[in-house]
Structure 1
Amino acid sequence: MNKNPLYYAKILLFGEYGIINDSQGLSIPYDFYRGAFKQSDALEGKSEKSNTSLKKYFQYLKELQESGEIIAPLDLISLEADIEAGFYFDSSIPEGYGVGSSGALCAAIYDKYAVNRIDPDTDIDKNSIVELKKILGQMESYFHGKSSGLDPLICYLKLPVLISSKEELGTVALPKPGQGKGAIFLLNSGQPGETQPMVNIFMEKMKNHGFRNVMKEEFTKYNDACIQAFLKGDTKPLFSNLKKLSHLVFEYFTPMIPSSVHELWKKGIETNAYYLKLCGSGGGGFVLGFTLDYEKAQTMLQGHQPELIHRF
């Protein structure tokens, strides 16, 4: 097991819904929120709730293992014994906010209980990353119905990952945080969201030829251009493509935009003071903001708790 048993939240900077459709994605760990296993003889409140959830999750993993369908065998005897001894997952990662609460738990369980664990410090190459994504996706499917495995992968590796396609992904270096006025931030919509209903809406929309074309021709182009510009630290093309992306999401992904930020989203595009985009599947939780003047954006977004992630 890792020497450091903390598992961080993750933020999908670019690629929400696009990665389902084979455009690029860029996901980063976010250590402001984190989770770790703890043990208590007197479980109560949050710790008792977590222990009860672990028991249910254990049953799911056990059924998977007994059916022979599990991709990576787990030491379920130790897991069960630990749960009975008062193990729980102590996490500050908010649930339903698009920052990887279930991903951190899956990463923690894999790290501690996988029989032939892929070591993030020594075994990482392109093949092992793809394999890890499959393993962790299967483990996380309990929480979302179907999981790409990306969230728990980021939580496990604790490194930024660039997704070029479903089978092609690897770790990547981010530009060093600058000292300028620009920033990436989180904005709290004030309500949790659920992944599965939002993904269902998207899949339903994908049956429409016009929407499929928008995803293929426009979304992918703007999204991938944003990633390339961000990784190069090139703010001009980043923000011109961000505006197009924010506008496109506002037009075609309205059900995924939490109602509490609807007007703020529109205001950002109209004033060019900041641009908002989805953080995860939407419907609630956090949305992501990008601005060239963080102080100005903070003033305009007062009362919505902008939370700084990265400075330009």
Structure 2
Amino acid sequence: MKGPLFYSKILLFGEYGIIKDSKGLSIPYNFFKGALKSEDTLSANAQESNDSLRNYYTYLENLQRSEPGLISFKLDSLKQDVEKGMYFDSSIPQGYGIGSSGALVAAIYDKYAINKITVLENLTREKLLKLKEIFGKMESFFHGKSSGLDPLNSYLSLPILINSRDNIESTSIPSQNLNGKGAVFLLDSGIIGETAPMVQIFMEKMKQEGFRNVLKDQFIKHTDACVEDFVSGNVKSLFGNLKQLSNVVLDHFKPMIPKEFHKLWKQGIETNDYYLKLCGSGGGGYILGFTEDLEKARIALKDHHLEVVYNF
């Protein structure tokens, strides 16, 4: 891969909650990455990406026209590069909840935005919110409404702490303890998830008062506590809150959990060997796992491949 690399991300906490102003914590995940490339002869995958970029060019042209105060692009350069066979060369799996479209958006902004906000500047809250707004509009092309957080994370390659909708900051998280027994891991559901239908289910559920109360009094409460525990390194409290959060998701977000994983999800809560939670919007893709004892979790989940993201 040539050119600047843009990495995948993992929203550790905050899926769905951030729509309703919960806290959130998103970290870059350098295992998967993508970069813009050009070639004369394109493979089938590269051709598909190139075709998608043609449509994206039209979308950005319309965005610039409708919101001239928000963003300007070097549209001529973008058009020429797409016609010359530019595509997004990416190892980030699509539909897995780890920001495949976010990395592409970050790459396009980095190369073609005029007067772009750069990572080297003093990133004030205003600049971060501006970037998030721009990225939200740019990413809407891929799956309807977007918060803009995935591209922001990919662009900055820094952990992002979401305190509320209008209060975000880059943050540091405790250094990994590579010899520690605890871990955050990814579990491959083997199913491609689609964001839009899952968000639709969530929005339908939000029409019920009972669900809104659960979201506010349980889901957001435990999400906020998990974010605070993780950032401050309070592992004992973190796992107490994770168990509660995993339970709430199993009880109230079942449609977002692939059926084959309902039993495993419950087993984790009952044995305390691991706790599972949604990674992104759910419905497939990756499932996030947390364990205080990775070996125990590996044995309990022996039929599944665990990809370790972070060690406690």
Task: Sort the TM-score into its range (normalised by shorter chain).
Answer: over 0.9
State the match for 1:42 in structure 2. Answer: 41
- The match for 1:93 is 92
Which residue does 1:191 correspond to in 2? 191
In structure 2, the residue matched to 1:307 is 307
Match of 1:63 in 2: 62
Measured on the aligned residues, the alpha-carbon RMSD in Å equals 1.2
| Secondary structure in structure 1 of the residue aligned to 2:114 | coil
Equivalent residue for 1:205?
205
Equivalences for residues 145-160 of structure 1 within 5 A: 145-160=144-159
1:66 Cα offset (Å): 2.9
Structure 2 runs not aligned, ≥5 long? none
User: What TM-score do you get using the length of structure 2 for normalisation?
Assistant: 0.97
2:35 aligns to what SS in structure 1?
Answer: strand
What is the identity, as a one-letter code, of the residue corresponding to 1:215?
L
Counterpart in the other structure of 1:122 = 121
Q: Distance in 2 between matches of 1:44 and 1:212?
A: 47
Contact persistence 1:24–1:223 (CA under 8 A): yes
Measure the CA separation in 2 of the matches of 1:26 and 1:230: 9
Judge which range, 296-305 or 75-84, deviates more: 296-305
Structure 1 residue 46, shift from structure 2 partner: 1.2
CA offsets 1:231-258 (integer angstroms, 9 cap, x no match): 1111111001000000000000000011
Deviation at 1:260, TM superposition (A): 2.5
Give the CA deviation at 1:303: 2.7
Moved over 6 A (4+): none
Q: State the one-letter code of the partner of 1:114.
A: A
CA displacement, residues 197-239 of structure 1 (integer Å, 9 cap, x when unaligned): 1111111111111111111111111111111111111111100
1:214 alignment partner in structure 2:
214
Taking a change above 3 Å as real, the CA distance of residues 56 and 70 of structure 1, as seen in their structure-2 partners, is farther
CA contact (8 A) 2:3 2:36 kept: no
| Code of the aligned partner of 1:226 | C
Residues 124-162 of structure 1: CA deviation (Å, up to 9, x unaligned)? 111100000000000000011110001110011100000
Q: Which runs of 5+ in 1 are unaligned?
A: none
| Structure 2 match to 1:258 | 258
Amino-acid identity (%): 58
SS across alignment from 2:223: helix
CA distance in 1, matches of 2:3, 2:216: 41
**Secondary structure of the corresponding residue to residue 204 of structure 1:** helix
Letter in 2 for 1:198: M
Q: Would the aligned equivalents of 2:3 and 2:35 in 1 still touch at CA under 8 Å? A: no
2:132 is matched with: 133
Matches within 5 A, 1:167-182: 167-178=166-177, 179-182=179-182
Letter in 2 for 1:282: G
Q: Report the secondary structure of 2:191's partner residue.
A: coil
Measured after TM superposition, the shift of residue 298 of structure 1 is 1.0
Residue in 1 that maps onto 2:270 = 270
Q: Which residue of 1 aligns with 2:244?
A: 244
Kept in 2: contact 1:190–1:260 (CA 8 A): no
TM-score by length of 1: 0.97
State the match for 2:75 in structure 1: 76
Question: Does the aligned pair in 2 maintain the 1:64–1:70 contact within 8 Å?
Answer: no
Q: Partners of 1:79 and 1:123 in 2: how far apart? A: 28
Contact 2:13 2:223 in 1 (8 A): yes
Paired residues of 2:222 and 2:241 also in contact (CA < 8 A): yes
SS at match of 2:29: strand
Query: What is aligned with 1:30?
Result: 29
Amino acid in the other structure paired with 1:89: F
Alpha-carbon deviations, 1:73-107, whole Å to 9, x = none?
11110000001111110000000000000000000
Counterparts of 2:304 and 2:59, CA distance in 1: 38
Distance 1:68 1:306 in 2: 44
1:18 and 2:50 are equivalent in the alignment: no
2:12–2:24 CA contact under 8 A, matched in 1: yes
Could you tell me how far apart the structure 1 residues matched to 2:68 and 2:145 are?
Answer: 15
Describe the SS at the equivalent of 1:9: strand
Q: Write the distance in 2 (CA, Å) between the matches of 1:264 and 1:131.
A: 41
CA distance in 1, matches of 2:276, 2:302: 15
* Displacement of 1:70: 7.0
Task: State the Cα distance separating 1:63 from its structure 2 match.
Answer: 1.9
